[in-house]
Amino acid sequence: MKNFNKFAKHLEDSVSGVFLGAQIFHKKGYTVKVNPSLLAPSSSEWEHYADNGDLEVSMRVEVKQSGYDFTNQDDFPFKSPIVCGKNAWDRAMPKPRFILLLNKPGTHYSLISADTREHWFIRELNDKRYGPNYTQEFYMCPLEHFIFNSV
């Protein structure tokens, strides 16, 4: 590699930017892994030192086990399912990237992305987990924004 010295300088200069990028995601509440950027001893050994990307940013995924058996949109029991409790979503830092809802036997799932947030609406519903008279607000979303698949 005839530009080895230039490459070495660019690699060294990039380190502060990588750590600044890590700090940006860290301040947003994400777990961040900074991958090593090692300089090969010589240009002929570069393939053994190629990196696997600068950062790995973990995403949050909420997983719920449903009490219902469903396989797809056609047999799902609700037209606008619950995405998440409003308080839980509003307090979450970082926000979940996805909410995965497993069917009762664990053979199929529905998945909703946080990118669908503009389609969500709020409903106050009974929360039977806490008794017959307990209500709370939930974010809900029309079923067409959910993805269905088998495990």
Q: What is the mean pLDDT of residues 56-85?
A: 93
- pLDDT category at 1 given cuts 50, 70, 90 is low
Please say whether the beta carbons of 84 and 96 come within 8 A: yes
Domain boundaries, the chain: 4-57, 61-150
Q: What is the mean pLDDT of residues 39-47?
A: 65
Using CB atoms within 10 A of its CB, is residue 99 exposed (0-12), middle (13-18) or buried (19+)?
buried
Please enumerate in sequence order all residues whose Cβ is within 8 A of that of 37, keeping only pairs 6 or more positions apart, or say none: 11, 14, 15, 18, 51, 54
Please name which of 66, 40, 36, 61 lies closest in space to residue 51, comparing C-alpha atoms: 36
pLDDT tens-digit map of 90-118: 999 889 999 999 999 999 999 999 999 99
pLDDT above 70 (res 46): no
